[in-house]
């Protein structure tokens, strides 16, 4: 069967060089410059035909690059509303647990302690933690400060420091803008390559226009969070950042190890958390490589009473 490779498909193949938060125009030029020879060899066409294909691909990649630049210009307000739409989907899938207002308040106080000592304490409408009414072991963070923790994951935590580690990990995802990266890679790249965002340039759409452009991507982001998960690199980066967030807030960074050890013992056959995250054993190895950078006075006994009062057993 004869294979056809269009400028758009080649642009998509070339696009990984642009998929990070920033892009290197020099790297783009280098990729574009090498493309014609690669296309010629791959398709068995002459250099003139290959150059024509390459020029079409280069145009599409440049358009996609502009979309990435525009996505980086998201305002805090836009980010919040995007995250809220994703959060509404997650809450609708799992339902929010309202049986213990005291527990929800407790988790939000832990979150406030972490974020007020973090590099990004103030975001549009703040950070909020909600509990999902499921025994599945999992947690989610959407853009704009929305954090969900399941009852199953709370039950695995044996201390406030372990709970703080879960929340710090999710705060890290938010502050590192991991979910926004998945939005950008999904909808914006596809829209840019098809020309839907051509001409946007440095001016990002209004909230109403953004809602229209991003409407289809909400389900894709929910799929990333709930089904596929972040990349392994992003998960390990969130663990690393969580260590510094915990230490800055006065929590024991080793709370991450406590939580991961508990998760290892409660593994649910590749369901929930275990389907969307690297294995607890792999994460423990990664955390142990960095843990000795932090030294925090041990004040866990001070937190035991309020943990015991707040977390049902």
Per-residue pLDDT in tens (0 to 9) along the chain, 313 residues? 433 333 333 333 333 333 333 334 344 344 444 445 554 555 555 666 656 555 554 554 444 444 444 445 567 887 888 788 888 888 988 999 999 999 999 999 999 999 999 999 999 999 999 999 999 999 999 888 999 999 999 999 999 999 999 999 999 999 998 887 765 544 444 444 444 444 444 444 555 555 555 565 565 556 666 656 788 889 999 999 999 999 999 999 999 999 999 988 876 655 555 565 678 889 999 999 999 999 898 888 889 999 999 998 7
The answer to whether position 264 is within a domain reads yes
Which of 227, 228, 248, 246 lies closest to 238, judged by CA? Answer: 246
Q: Which of 44, 72, 100 is the last residue of a domain?
A: 72
d(CA 136, CA 151): 7
**Range list of β-strands (E), the chain:** 128-132, 139-142, 146-150
Structural domain for 286, as ranges? 76-179+226-310
Is residue 243 assigned to a domain?
A: yes
* Pair (97, 174) in one structural domain: yes
Statement to judge: residues 253 and 280 lie in one domain: yes
Say how far apart CA 71 and CA 139 lie, in whole Å. 25
Domain assignment of residue 195, yes or no: no
Strands (E) in 34-91, as ranges, are: none
Domain count, the chain: 2
Residue 125 tokens, joined: 């409408």
């Amino acid at each position: 069967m004869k294979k056809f490779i269009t400028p758009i498909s080649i642009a998509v193949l070339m696009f990984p060089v642009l998929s990070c938060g920033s892009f290197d125009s020099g790297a783009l030029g280098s990729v574009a410059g090498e493309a014609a020879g690669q296309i010629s060899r791959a398709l068995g066409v002459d250099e003139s035909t290959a150059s024509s294909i390459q020029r079409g691909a280069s145009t599409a990649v440049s358009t996609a690059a502009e979309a990435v630049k525009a996505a980086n210009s998201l305002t805090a307000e836009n980010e919040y509303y995007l995250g809220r739409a994703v959060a509404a989907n997650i809450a609708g899938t799992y339902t929010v647990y309202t049986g213990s207002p005291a527990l929800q308040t407790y988790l939000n106080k832990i979150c406030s302690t972490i974020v007020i000592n973090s590099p990004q304490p103030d975001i549009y409408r703040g950070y909020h933690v909600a509990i999902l009414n499921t025994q599945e072991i999992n947690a989610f963070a959407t853009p704009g400060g929305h954090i969900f923790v399941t009852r199953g994951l709370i039950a695995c935590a044996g201390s406030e420091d372990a709970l703080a580690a879960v929340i710090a990990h999710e705060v890290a995802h938010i502050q590192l803008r991991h979910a926004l990266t998945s939005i950008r890679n999904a909808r914006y790249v596809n829209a840019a390559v098809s020309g839907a965002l051509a001409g946007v340039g440095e001016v990002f759409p209004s909230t109403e226009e953004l809602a229209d452009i991003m409407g289809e991507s909400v389900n894709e982001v929910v799929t990333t969070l709930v089904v596929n998960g972040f990349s392994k690199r992003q998960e390990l980066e969130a663990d690393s950042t969580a260590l510094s967030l915990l230490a800055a807030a006065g929590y024991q960074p080793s709370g991450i190890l406590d939580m991961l050890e508990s998760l290892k013992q409660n593994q649910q056959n590749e369901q929930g958390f275990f389907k969307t995250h690297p294995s607890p054993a792999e994460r423990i190895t990664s955390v142990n490589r960095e843990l000795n950078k932090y030294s925090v006075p041990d004040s866990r006994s001070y937190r035991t009473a309020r943990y015991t009062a707040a977390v049902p057993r």
